[in-house]
Structure 1
Amino acid sequence: MAEKSPIFARRTAGVLLHPTSLPCSESFWEDDQKNRFGTLGKDAYYFIDLIAKAGLTIWQMLPIGPTQADMSPYQSISAHAGNPELVSLDWLIEKGWIRAGDLQHDGEKNIAVARQKFALSFYAFLNSTEGEATRQNFQTFCSQQNYWLDDFSLFCALRKKFDGASWSDWPADLRQRKHSALEKIRIELNSDIDVVLFEQFVFFSQWHALKDYANQRNISLFGDMPIFVGHDSADVWAQQHYFQLDEGGCPLTVAGVPPDYFSETGQHWGNPHYAWQVMEADGFQWWLARLRTQLQLFDLIRIDHFRGFEAYWEIPGGSHDARQGKWVKAPGEAFLNACFKTFPGLPLVAENLGVITEEVEALRNQFDLPGMLVLQFAFDGNTNNPHLPHNHTRSDVIYTGTHDNDTTQGWWNTLSEASRNQVQEYCFNSKDKLPWLLIEAALASVGGMAIIPMQDFLELDGGHRMNMPGTTDKNWVWKFSWDQVEPTLADRVRQLLATYHRLG
């Protein structure tokens, strides 16, 4: 059994909210704040103050890497980098890293031009007397993160040069990473590379400042690490031998899941599968590097689609039908042994939802990893349903719903009268309204950790869900506003946490 992180040793409660779902009050977007996502600026600090007042000690979020055009945090162009869209420009001005005048704009904002402008201002600051300490920190950052940052910055510069084309469509010498071609192009694209280095340095700087603020208030940041990475990513381009690709760089097999609760036709994710034999041969160094970065950013980490470490759904690369896939065994035990040997007490939570077998649960239990239980899945009439509270265990993490579920109020609104009666009968015939009935059931559970989506705390209906699996329309865009937060919310939550011994 692996050494268990002390973070799982006490009863805790937290909130699920992606930073993009925060309100935006950035000066650069003051005339368009309703259409802008949250940042790592002052609204993130206000949110930490709110949950600290409520006594919550966990802030869970989705992956924070840079996204593709569909904005899905599960299809990032990097397993290491931060999303520059989360950078607070006001924070940079307060630090003196860019000038307030750089935020002035005429008419429509050109983000690409603005980023170049901000980067030039930042490098000018680094070369000033006032910027000496920051320059040393910047140089240290680039040196310490070069195990991913060098490839990522060049990858982004090349994507820009080729108008966003996938790396598998680049000229052969760049696609195949010929040394002479890479050295030449680095010189040519130096200014664009500098922009990426600037953005990653300021992202990590802002992130660590926010994390320190949270930790000082007894709040742990709970990250989310997708098991797979996007094909059009710096990770696949830079280390192609770790993935199942053909000679042109295209996936031979891709990831997804068979039909399940979320989709009758399964899900075709399109991520290239790993060459697990190659990874195992060098002790899973690619994964260990990835965990190294995540542990700099988070206090605990959820592994999305944990069952893929026991066996993964392999879809032929040329097929777009998830039902054409098959299960293939993965070296989960060897992988987790390597992880816990390198990072004793690794604070992992296994996402074990969907098609879960005895073998998957055996692997999870072998390493004493907490799993996930979702109350919205509990009431199907089966008393052996693991999601029902009387079947919970102390090692479980309990959710009312996840980012892939409807909000609890939205879920309730779709239930039949018979199903509603079943829920209320199970909950001692309580007449408490939803979503608070389910929130209280989660907090009362014997499960060691309970996580409530922010939409449920705000009593929001299905029009406010974050994602609908199997669809590509209107996902990942939800955000709340401060006027949705009742003045009594923190006190109400705090009282419940005290009742169920989860108070931070």
Structure 2
Amino acid sequence: MRAGGVLMPITSLSSPHGIGSMGKEAYEFVDFLRDAGQTYWQLLPICPTSYGDSPYQSFSTFAGNPYLIDPEKLIEDGYLFRNELDSIDWETTPDRVNYEVMYKKRFPMLKKAVTRFLENPEKEYEKFIEDNGFWIEDYALFMALKDAHGGKSWQMWEDSVRLREKDTLEQMCREYRQQIDFWKAVQYLFKKQWDKLKAYANENGIFLIGDLPIYVALDSSDVWSRPSQFQLDKDLIPTEVAGCPPDGFSADGQLWGNPLFDWDAMKKDGYSWWIKRIEHIFSLFDVLRIDHFRGFAGYYAIPYKDKNARNGRWRKGPGMDLFKHIEKKLGRRKIIAEDLGFLTPDVRELLKECGYPGMKVLEFAFDSRDGDGNDYRPYRYPEKCIAYVGTHDNDTACGWMKTAPYKDRRIAKEYLGLSGREGYNWGMMRAIWASRADTAIVTSQDLLGLGSEARMNIPSTVGNNWVWRAMPGVFDKQLAKKIRGKMEIYARLPQ
């Protein structure tokens, strides 16, 4: 089925409260997608952000981001008073997120709401805690301990806590019971709002695409609570960490720093952690994009103390064995494989065996060093793929047309027949809508014709990433009508 969709992080929605949330604007965006003839809303990871504000480096792969909880709905539920919300200055402009202020002011607001909630918890609360027991107790204790240690990484905690000695953990659970209850209640309030938003989207014919980073952060409850699942030494220090090798874009490669999975240990217990992880995310989303899919075929391992990725080496991943176990336990699920970059034969074979659709990015098609754009020219797209102009890691279409090398832009203009009359963004979007790809996803920034100022992320940089927000009222009926017309022309309207 041919379909269209839009990539739009919830944090990027407009809101009077400093950051996009699961409030009125999210429901209005669903209405916009419906009116625009879209089928999918693709999001970035919705887990809590840590230092650097990246949704790909989180304190938990299972938890929801507290910033996404809508304060207005807390007022509707009686857990927050109007004056308590209106008195907060979020110290930001409508087109940016101020994460520092968000951290300082969002949690005191949530603590007021949680205090009232816990005075008389909703009847569904107990079942929620029971259903999420696999991760939520460890996560809540981790966050309480992190606060108690001034935000320091768990690797800097005292040995008895860092090494999870039973008597010490029992004492910590008693000592920090109030704080633990806070973090658990926050997750309940998140899930309550999420379920309502997802139900509304589905009722309107919009399906949610989630984004799952392959790795988890070292400073996370995931690693602290289950160290045996990762490549750590006896002192729980990583032996090697994740990244990418040097290439034409980076002489030093990319040093991500995430701990690597101990695939041998995971195989022995039937990949139970991965199965729980996939099962959990499919309780939140209809479709799942797995980031850095090539890491399941072979992954790049870098010595822990290294300052760059030059001395890394390739190691064999779990391959198809992992996905056979997942499918056996959970059945066949709708998964998108992020297969961008240099693909070796083992990765291509894994993709073929899994049968998951891969990704095609139009901006990669005009690299003058390549000659013919490899597989990213639209005429080469298979039907079973997801086509993009760019992703959250790329410049916007209009930005790319200003910042890409001159020769690349010249090739793109000639190949796509671009002119400045309607806007380069529309010409590039038309190319993927017209392609054979079953699904075409465009970013909200490209729909709005925004430049590099609206770029979501520049990989391997820190600062000024993940902060863009749409201005109020930009997703209007006129724009929806125009997009719907394109969907009709390119046979991408929902059936």
In the alignment, which residue of structure 2 is the partner of 1:364? 351
Gap runs ≥5 in structure 1 = 1-9, 30-35, 127-133
Deviations 1:22-49 (A, max 9, x none): 1113xxx3xxxxxx21111111111111
CA 407–194 in structure 1, closer or farther in 2 if over 3 Å, else same? same
Aligned counterparts, 1:25-424, within 5 A? 25=16, 29=17, 36-103=18-85, 105=87, 110-126=105-121, 134=122, 136-260=123-247, 263-380=250-367, 382-383=371-372, 385-415=374-404, 418-424=407-413
Displacement after TM superposition at 1:377 (Å)? 0.4
Displacement after TM superposition at 1:482 (Å)? 2.4
Displacement after TM superposition at 1:88 (Å)? 0.6
Indicate if the aligned counterparts of 1:98 and 1:125 stay in contact, CA closer than 8 A.
Answer: no
In the alignment, which residue of structure 2 is the partner of 1:23? 14
Bigger drift between 380-389 and 364-373 goes to 380-389
Bigger drift between 380-389 and 78-87 goes to 380-389
Displacement after TM superposition at 1:51 (Å)? 1.0
Indicate if the aligned counterparts of 2:241 and 2:258 stay in contact, CA closer than 8 A.
Answer: yes
CA 249–489 in structure 1, closer or farther in 2 if over 3 Å, else same? same
CA distance in 2, matches of 1:106, 1:365: 52
Deviations 1:276-306 (A, max 9, x none): 1000111100100101110000000000000
Displacement after TM superposition at 1:189 (Å)? 0.3
Deviations 1:468-498 (A, max 9, x none): 0111121111111124446521111101101
Displacement after TM superposition at 1:421 (Å)? 3.7
For residue 357 of structure 2, what is the amino acid of its counterpart?
P
Secondary structure (helix, strand or coil) at the match of 2:151 reads coil
For residue 44 of structure 1, what is the amino acid of its counterpart?
A
Identity of aligned residues (%): 39
Normalization by structure 2: what TM-score? 0.93
Secondary structure (helix, strand or coil) at the match of 1:488 reads helix
Aligned length: 478
CA 221–452 in structure 1, closer or farther in 2 if over 3 Å, else same? same
For residue 11 of structure 2, what is the amino acid of its counterpart?
T
Secondary structure (helix, strand or coil) at the match of 1:146 reads coil
Deviations 1:73-99 (A, max 9, x none): 000010100000110111121123444
Normalization by structure 1: what TM-score? 0.91
Displacement after TM superposition at 1:332 (Å)? 1.4
Indicate if the aligned counterparts of 2:395 and 2:455 stay in contact, CA closer than 8 A.
Answer: yes
Deviations 1:338-396 (A, max 9, x none): 11111222111000112211210110111111000000001235336100011100111
CA 177–199 in structure 1, closer or farther in 2 if over 3 Å, else same? same
Displacement after TM superposition at 1:104 (Å)? 5.8
CA distance in 1, matches of 2:351, 2:79: 45
Deviations 1:455-476 (A, max 9, x none): 1000001111000011112111
Residue among 395, 401, 423 paired with 1:433:
423
Displacement after TM superposition at 1:101 (Å)? 5.0
Secondary structure (helix, strand or coil) at the match of 1:313 reads strand
Structure 1 residue ranges, 4+ long, deviating more than 6 angstroms after superposition = 106-109
Deviations 1:307-331 (A, max 9, x none): 0000001000111211111111111
CA distance in 2, matches of 1:302, 1:374: 15
CA distance in 1, matches of 2:196, 2:51: 28
For residue 15 of structure 1, what is the amino acid of its counterpart?
V
Bigger drift between 49-58 and 115-124 goes to 115-124
Indicate if the aligned counterparts of 1:102 and 1:118 stay in contact, CA closer than 8 A.
Answer: no
Gap runs ≥5 in structure 2 = 91-103
CA 97–16 in structure 1, closer or farther in 2 if over 3 Å, else same? same
Displacement after TM superposition at 1:169 (Å)? 1.2
Indicate if the aligned counterparts of 2:4 and 2:440 stay in contact, CA closer than 8 A.
Answer: yes
Deviations 1:124-161 (A, max 9, x none): 243xxxxxxx2x20011001001110100100000011
Residue among 478, 491, 501 paired with 2:491:
501
Indicate if the aligned counterparts of 1:78 and 1:233 stay in contact, CA closer than 8 A.
Answer: yes
Indicate if the aligned counterparts of 1:371 and 1:396 stay in contact, CA closer than 8 A.
Answer: yes
CA 251–489 in structure 1, closer or farther in 2 if over 3 Å, else same? same
CA distance in 2, matches of 1:21, 1:313: 32
Displacement after TM superposition at 1:450 (Å)? 0.4
Indicate if the aligned counterparts of 2:367 and 2:373 stay in contact, CA closer than 8 A.
Answer: no
In the alignment, which residue of structure 1 is the partner of 2:100? none
Indicate if the aligned counterparts of 1:260 and 1:355 stay in contact, CA closer than 8 A.
Answer: no
In the alignment, which residue of structure 2 is the partner of 1:446? 436
CA 86–251 in structure 1, closer or farther in 2 if over 3 Å, else same? same
CA distance in 2, matches of 1:124, 1:320: 50
CA 18–264 in structure 1, closer or farther in 2 if over 3 Å, else same? farther
CA 22–260 in structure 1, closer or farther in 2 if over 3 Å, else same? farther
For residue 91 of structure 1, what is the amino acid of its counterpart?
K
Indicate if the aligned counterparts of 1:119 and 1:195 stay in contact, CA closer than 8 A.
Answer: yes
